[in-house]
């Protein structure tokens, strides 16, 4: 039996160090997948690789990118006993090293907007994967990042999110990590699928945060720009620009939302799709999608209200100018009339 720990952190990037970009090898899944899987799934590109040492254990640290602006730091280590006590500390320190790498490489809001995940791989073994369920408490503890003992019901619930394809393989999926049992060692496509799912979750979270900020900004400007205040007439450009920015974010949001839906649907109905669906349920992606749709509707509603009540259209500007012109003309006629009366009496 052989084992491997793969921990990674994904975040957006403010800047990308444009060195030599190496296309990551596209590995065809050993399990069934549609013929367009390799061209549909977003491809990773490798920016850098280096050897690292944690707890006197040698491993590899890689920096990858999903173009154009999503960074992925990945640390991997070979383990003799993946169920050992040291695996907990190794995983935490590997995650910390990945976060440090993202900060150094231009990661954006790594603390607030990032996704971390650890995959525990067991391979090159004989017999059914169920033989490892004698470590069920330790498996659940690693997936939950809990060193203390878990309730038996919680252990059973964690192990229930399981998918089998071959006779002797198995994948257990949870929020913070997954266990992969594969006697043949064909786990690279599964790792990439988990990384893709985390990248999609990150995009949902970032999109949700952008919509929150836009809603707050528009509401703040509307409160500051009460229509009963005359000075509002001189602030209309600020309001209009804010609303234009909101419309732009909404348009981009709709595009990204539809792109995510399209990518997910194109994965297909094979093993990879079933695994992705199981992961998406654990990540509660359907709830994220509904929340984003609701906020998109809210942004549109706020825009309509603001555009109807707190902006001055060109037509309204023309009417104001026309009215101002009439007042000037009337004032001029009054002056002329006054001058005529004055000279007439004189």
pLDDT digits (tens, 9 = 90+) for 257-286: 666 666 655 555 567 778 888 998 999 988
User: Which of the residue ranges 171-180, 219-228, 291-300 would you say has the lowest mean pLDDT?
Assistant: 219-228
**Does the pLDDT at position 11 exceed 70?**
yes
Torsion of CA 133, 139, 141, 147, to 10 degrees: 100
**Does the pLDDT at position 163 exceed 70?**
yes
Burial class (CB in 10 A: 0-12, 13-18, 19+), 265: exposed
Maximum mean pLDDT: which of 44-48, 216-220, 256-260, 311-315: 44-48
Tokens at 150, concatenated: 């878990």
**Does the pLDDT at position 233 exceed 60?**
no
Q: What is the pLDDT of residue 27?
A: 41
Q: What is the pLDDT of residue 4?
A: 96
Sorted by sequence, the CB contacts under 8 Å of residue 285 that are 6+ apart come out as: 200, 201, 204
Instruction: State mean pLDDT over 14-30.
Output: 50
Which position has the token pair 């173009």? Answer: 67
Q: What is the pLDDT of residue 257?
A: 63
| Model confidence pLDDT, tens digit, residues 187-216 | 888 998 899 899 989 988 888 888 888 777
| Model confidence pLDDT, tens digit, residues 78-124 | 999 999 889 999 999 999 999 999 999 888 888 888 999 999 999 99
Rounded to 5, what percent of the chain is helix, strand, coil?
A: 55, 20, 25
What count of residues does the chain have? 346
**Type and span of the H or E element at 343:** helix 314-345
21-38: buried (b, 16+ CB within 10 Å) or exposed (e) per residue? eeeeeeeebbbebeeebe
- Find how far residue 204's CA is from the centre of its chain: 4
Q: What is the pLDDT of residue 333?
A: 80
3-class SS of residue 50: strand
Instruction: State mean pLDDT over 206-230.
Output: 70
Q: What is the pLDDT of residue 24?
A: 46
Question: The whole model's pTM is what?
Answer: 0.77
Instruction: State mean pLDDT over 170-182.
Output: 95
Q: What is the pLDDT of residue 66?
A: 85
Q: What is the pLDDT of residue 29?
A: 45
Grade residue 331 by pLDDT with cuts at 50, 70 and 90. confident
Asked if 183 contacts 124 with a C-beta cutoff of 8 angstroms, the reply is: yes
Q: How many CB atoms lie within 10 A of CB 110?
A: 22
**Type and span of the H or E element at 339:** helix 314-345
Measured distance CA(259)–CA(90) in Å, rounded: 36
Instruction: State mean pLDDT over 207-230.
Output: 70
Measured distance CA(5)–CA(102) in Å, rounded: 19
Instruction: State mean pLDDT over 145-172.
Output: 90
Measured distance CA(226)–CA(228) in Å, rounded: 5
Q: What is the pLDDT of residue 138?
A: 93
∠ at Cα 51 (48, 56), nearest 5°?
Answer: 150
Q: Which residue has the higher pLDDT, 237 or 21?
A: 237
**Does the pLDDT at position 5 exceed 70?**
yes
> What's the mean per-residue pLDDT of the chain?
80
Q: Which residue has the higher pLDDT, 107 or 217?
A: 107
Helix extents (H) in 225-313: 236-265, 271-282, 285-309
**Does the pLDDT at position 37 exceed 60?**
no
Asked if 142 contacts 120 with a C-beta cutoff of 8 angstroms, the reply is: yes
Q: What is the pLDDT of residue 20?
A: 46
Q: Which residue has the higher pLDDT, 150 or 262?
A: 150
Q: What is the DSSP string of 151-180?
A: PHHHHHHHHHSEE--SSS-EEEE-SSEEEE
Strand partners, 116: 9
Peptide bond just before 313 cis, omega within 30 deg: no
Q: What is the pLDDT of residue 265?
A: 57
**Does the pLDDT at position 58 exceed 50?**
yes
Measured distance CA(212)–CA(298) in Å, rounded: 10
């Amino acid at each position: 039996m052989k084992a491997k720990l793969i921990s990674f952190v994904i975040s957006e990037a403010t800047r990308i160090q444009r060195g030599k970009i190496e296309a990551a090898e596209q590995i065809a899944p050993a399990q069934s997948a549609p013929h367009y899987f390799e061209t549909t799934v977003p491809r990773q590109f490798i920016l850098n690789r280096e050897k690292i040492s944690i707890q006197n254990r040698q491993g590899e640290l890689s920096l990858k990118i999903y173009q154009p602006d999503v960074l992925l730091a990945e640390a991997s280590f070979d383990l003799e006993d993946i169920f050992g006590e040291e695996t907990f500390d190794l995983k935490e320190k590997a995650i910390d090293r990945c976060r440090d790498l993202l900060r150094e490489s231009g990661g954006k809001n790594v603390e607030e907007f990032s996704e971390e995940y650890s995959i525990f791989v067991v391979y090159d073994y004989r017999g059914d994967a169920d033989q490892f369920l004698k470590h069920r408490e330790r498996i659940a503890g690693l997936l939950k990042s809990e060193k203390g003992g878990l309730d038996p019901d919680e252990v059973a619930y964690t192990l229930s999110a399981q998918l089998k394809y071959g006779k002797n393989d198995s994948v257990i999926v949870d929020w913070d990590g997954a266990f992969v049992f594969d006697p043949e060692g064909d786990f690279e496509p599964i790792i990439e699928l988990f990384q893709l799912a985390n990248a999609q979750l990150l995009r949902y979270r970032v999109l949700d945060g952008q919509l929150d900020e836009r809603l707050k900004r528009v509401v703040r400007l509307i409160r500051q720009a009460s229509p009963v205040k005359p000075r509002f007439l001189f602030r209309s450009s600020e309001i209009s620009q804010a609303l234009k920015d909101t419309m732009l974010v909404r348009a981009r949001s709709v595009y990204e939302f539809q792109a995510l839906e399209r990518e997910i649907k194109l994965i297909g109905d094979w093993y990879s799709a079933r695994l992705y669906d199981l992961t998406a349920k654990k990540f509660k992606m359907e709830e994220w999608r509904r929340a984003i749709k609701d906020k998109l509707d809210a942004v549109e509603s706020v825009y309509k209200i603001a555009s109807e009540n707190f902006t001055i259209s060109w037509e309204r500007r023309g009417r104001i100018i026309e009215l101002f012109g009439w007042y000037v003309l009337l004032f001029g006629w009054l002056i002329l009339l006054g001058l005529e009366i004055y000279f007439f009496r004189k």
